[in-house]
């Protein structure tokens, strides 16, 4: 039998797979901003970086490159001496081509090859070599201690300074500004987990119920607003938003949730009765 070469190692597949981690917050605090659109011309403080340098499709591109490498390997890229090795040889391939041509026989799990004295060497594939790239994604923005009186343009402004804010924004600090209400634009950020609104001028307690449309919200601050002065302020907020875990930096206990829920239901019933009576009186006066 013609002597075959020593064991041939399959080439390793190198790839780049990005790992995503939360980056530092974009910090626009104490910038004397009057509108959120001023973020487009202001640079954030040290820490966070606006306009991510990595393309949002990098993950898909890396996966496509990996698939291409795997396809090349499966098709066979050639063996030593210029002969082509099949990754999946047929039943007669070894007899027809292996001994006659001197080409090594390579399979996915490794094969036995013999040299002069009958020694056997197992050819085994090398494990894939994975390079991991860390991609930092902005999930938090600080806009506290400015002079902002509206967040109407917030989605547009954040689109300029961070990658896909509607999907990535999880925490925003709007404390110590001039906000007078909880505006609908805040409800666009469905991944929001923490919302800081303390130290503003919010007067309408029922507007807090709008935040039910943020399904992941677990931390909220509203202290320092006029609504905090109402005697049932905390019970109302906890009852209206039963999924909260902290309010005004204070943990909400399970007992508090149950008590606030019962109170809120009774309050809602009383409010409905009062509203119906007022409507009846208005109708009677107009007749």
pLDDT tens series, the chain, 287 aa: 444 444 444 344 444 445 778 888 999 999 999 999 999 999 998 656 565 544 445 545 555 555 665 556 555 544 444 444 444 444 444 444 444 444 445 444 444 555 555 555 556 666 666 666 777 899 999 999 999 999 999 999 999 999 999 999 999 999 999 999 999 999 999 999 999 999 999 999 999 999 999 999 999 999 999 999 999 999 999 999 999 999 999 999 999 999 999 999 998 888 778 777 777 777 777 87
pLDDT at 48: 60
Show contacts of 38-46: CB within 8 Å, 24+ apart: 39/143, 39/157, 39/158, 39/160, 39/161, 40/157, 40/160, 40/161, 44/161
Spell out the domain ranges in the chain: 22-53+137-282, 58-132
Q: Of 27, 79, 17, 71, nearest to 50 (Cα)?
A: 27
pLDDT at 32: 95
Q: Can you give the pTM of this predicted structure?
A: 0.65
pLDDT at 70: 54
CATH of domain 22-53+137-282: 3.80.10.10
Is the Cα dihedral 146, 147, 150, 154 positive or negative? negative
Residue 98, helix vs strand vs coil: helix
């Amino acid at each position: 039998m013609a002597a075959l070469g020593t064991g041939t190692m399959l080439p390793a597949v190198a790839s780049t797979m990005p790992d995503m981690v939360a980056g530092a917050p974009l910090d626009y605090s104490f910038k004397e901003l009057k509108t959120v659109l001023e973020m487009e011309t202001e640079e954030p403080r040290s820490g966070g970086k606006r306009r991510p340098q990595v393309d949002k499709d990098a993950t898909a591109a890396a996966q496509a490159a990996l698939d291409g490498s795997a396809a090349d390997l499966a098709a066979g890229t050639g063996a030593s001496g210029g002969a082509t090795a099949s990754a999946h040889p047929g039943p007669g391939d070894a007899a027809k081509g292996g001994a006659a041509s001197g080409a090594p026989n390579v399979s996915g799990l490794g094969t036995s090859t013999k040299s002069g004295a009958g020694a056997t060497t197992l050819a085994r594939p090398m494990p894939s070599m994975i390079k991991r790239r860390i991609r930092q994604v902005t999930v938090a923005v600080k806009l506290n201690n400015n002079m902002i009186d509206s967040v109407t343009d917030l989605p547009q402004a954040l689109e300029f300074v961070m990658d896909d804010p509607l999907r990535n924004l999880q925490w925003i600090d709007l404390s110590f500004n001039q906000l007078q209400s909880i505006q609908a634009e805040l409800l666009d950020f469905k991944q929001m987990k923490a919302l800081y609104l303390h130290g503003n001028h919010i007067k309408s307690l029922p507007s807090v119920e709008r935040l039910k449309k943020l399904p992941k919200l677990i931390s909220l601050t509203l202290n320092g607003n006029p609504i905090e002065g109402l005697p049932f302020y905390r019970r109302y907020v906890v009852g209206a938003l039963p999924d909260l875990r902290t309010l005004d930096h204070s943990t909400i206990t399970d007992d508090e949730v149950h008590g606030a829920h019962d109170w809120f239901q009774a309050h809602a019933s009383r409010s409905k009765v009062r509203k119906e009576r007022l409507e009846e009186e208005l109708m009677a006066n107009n007749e």
